[in-house]
Structures are given as C-alpha cells and as structure tokens.
Amino acid sequence: MPTISLKLKHSPYKVFIKKGIANEIPKHLKWGQKYAVITDNKVSALYGKAFVRFLRKNGIEAELFSFAQGEKSKILPTIEKIANQMVEKNFDRKDAIIALGGGVVGDLAGFLASMYMRGIPYIQIPTTLLAMVDSSIGGKTGVDMKTGKNLLGRIEQPKAVFIDSTYLKTLAKKQIRNGLAEVIKYGVIRDPKLFSFIENNSEEIFNLEEKAINKIITDSVKIKAKVVEKDEHEAGLRMILNYGHTYGHAIEKMSGYKLLHGYAISIGMVIANKIAVKKGMLKKEDSDRIKALLTKVELPIVTIKKPSNKDLMSDKKRQGQYINLILPTKIGKVKIVQEKCQ
C-alpha cells in the first residue's frame, strides 16, 4: 500500500492509497469522540449511509450530514445549515469531521472543520478522481461567492487522507475526464513521464484498470505532496499547481459553474499554452502535443467566450492589478509570469 507522508512543519499527515482502504478506516480513527460524516446527497445514497452504519458497527459514533450535490451548494448558507445540524446533534470540540465525497464536499467540509467551535479535526475520503489526485491533498478549503470561486477559505490540513479507488466504479466517464485534466496538469508542470503514460494508457485508465489508476493517483499525489511541503501557503512554488486555473476558474464562473472544473481547466491550459507560444517560451510542437492529449481523452479545448481582464481580476490569486500566469516552457516544466490586467 503506497503511503505518502506530507512532512509539514506544523501539521504533518499521511495519505493512504489502497484499493479497499475504506474498510480499514475504523482502526485509524483517533481524532474525535464522534464523527460528522459530511457528503452530498448523491454520495450519501451511494456510500454515505452504508459508511455510517459501518462505523457504528465498529463501535464508532457517527452521524451523516448531506447537502445538494454540485458547486452551487459550496456557499456560506450550506456551511451554516450543517453547522446548526451538528450543534443539534451535540457535536463539540472533542469531535471530528469526515469529508466523504468529491472536491466540493472536501472544500466545504474542510472549511467548516476549520471554523466549527473555532476548529476541529477532519479527514478526507475522496470519492472522485479529481478529489483523489488534487483537491483532497494540500489543505485548501473554501466556499464560493457571487464574485468568484473559493474567495472565502483557508489552508487547513486534514489529519489524514484515505484514497480508495473502489469508489471510482460508480463514477461516470465524464468525471474520470474531469479528474484526468488535473493529472495531465501534473505531467505538464512536473513529470513528462506521467504525461507520456497517459498518452499511451488512456484506454486502461478509462477502463479503471487497477495498475493504471494506481499509477496516476500515486504519481499525482507525490507531485502535489512535494510541492506543498516546500510551499504550504502558496507563497511561491505552489502557484505552479495553478497551471490552467487562472483562465479556467474564470471560465467556470462564466458558465454559472455548469462546466465541470477539469473541463474548464483543460481550456485554461490551452489558453496558457497559446500565450506561452506567443511569448516564445514554449515550442508549438509541445503546445500541440498537450492539446492532442486533451482531445484524445475528450476534454474541451475551446471556449465560446474568452474571459476578459475583468473576469480574470476576480481570481483570488491576483495581486493588485496583476495576475500570475503559469506558463509551460516544455512538458515537465513551467514558469510563473506576472501579467498586468489593463
């Protein structure tokens, strides 16, 4: 079982990657007297109710809290509603939260954990490929506002992350593509071998063949863990993880969050590549190769309307009148470039 340690100064933790690891979770739970299992209504029906029964059967006190599936629920009213429900169920500072679900669940539950009773522990059990390779790692939590994505939030590291690829068996193909966009991102920013693996094994990945899935998850987590260890609070290096995100987040918002995150990031990567080619930083052959892989796995590469400077300025990563663009110089390496929005 691959176990990846995030060696952070104040809040180190482990990421356990193993098919079937969810069945071993009770023996690991040491952070709360009882657990609030937070999920969305779809995951609740698929796994949540059974997971709570499983915990109780193993002598762990747990309650299930769910909200409507989707990015539109990732707002402060949802946080307040669940917090009130937790108070009614007598959750206090000696208890903990389990985030069971995709990126929206992890972001929302982690943010709630950072604030409830001035902070209680939480763990991540991601159920989507996107959450497994990206959002469950690194401690970023938050909710959206009308003016932008994740504008309210904080970096609050979980106590542990348990990645069980068994959950992927009920995931729609579009959600595999959604997560694969982030895996391709890792290949472009840090690992040309991972990029080549996806080029040569996309069919195996979509068929959820264990060897291929385990590799892309493990390699992605290792890359993110190393970056986060060096820059937990996004003061410098961690910004490279935002390749494709500056334009991608704006595109997501323009769609009313109807476009999946990974789909928006795919378009954002293509836009970033065009800028890099125009600046003479990236060879057109590499840009075309990235676009070809995104096309091969059926991710979108164009948008009807390109985000304006005003759209970009709502991004939380802007600094005054400047935005940071992550531009590739070759497959496996990127550079942070600051651009002024006129």
Stretches where the chain sits below pLDDT 70 are 1, 310-311, 313-320, 341-342
- Which residue among 63, 71, 156, 182 is the active-site one? 182
Tokens of 136: 């469950």
- Give pLDDT tens digits for 230-261: 999 888 899 999 999 999 989 988 888 889 99
Q: Catalytic annotation on 234? A: yes
User: Among the options 204, 234, 298, 339, which is catalytic?
Assistant: 234
Alpha-carbon span 225 to 215, nearest angstrom: 15
* Active-site residue flag, 242: yes
242, 253, 273, 291: the active-site residue: 242
Measured CA to CA, the distance from residue 303 to residue 247 in angstroms comes to 11
Catalytic residue check, 261: yes
What is the value of pTM for the model shown? 0.93
pLDDT of 342? 55
CATH for 173-340?
1.20.1090.10
Which residues, 6 or more positions from 146, have their beta carbon under 8 angstroms from its beta carbon?
none
Catalytic residue among 74, 159, 249, 291: 249
Q: How many CB atoms lie within 10 A of CB 284?
A: 11
Give the pLDDT of residue 305. 76
Closest by Cα among 258, 234, 244 to 307:
244
> In the CATH hierarchy, which top-level class contains the domain 3-169?
alpha beta
Predicted local distance difference test score (pLDDT) of residue 2: 84
pLDDT of residue 25: 96
Annotated catalytic residue within 261, 273, 291, 324: 261
- DSSP one-letter string for 49-117: HHHHHHHHHTT-EEEEEEE-SSGGG-SHHHHHHHHHHHHHTT--TT-EEEEEESHHHHHHHHHHHHHGG
Q: Which is the catalytic residue, given 9, 10, 27, 118?
A: 118
Respond yes or no: is residue 245 known to be catalytic. yes
Domain boundaries, the chain: 3-169, 173-340
Predicted pLDDT of residue 190: 97
For the question of residue 140 being annotated catalytic, the response is yes
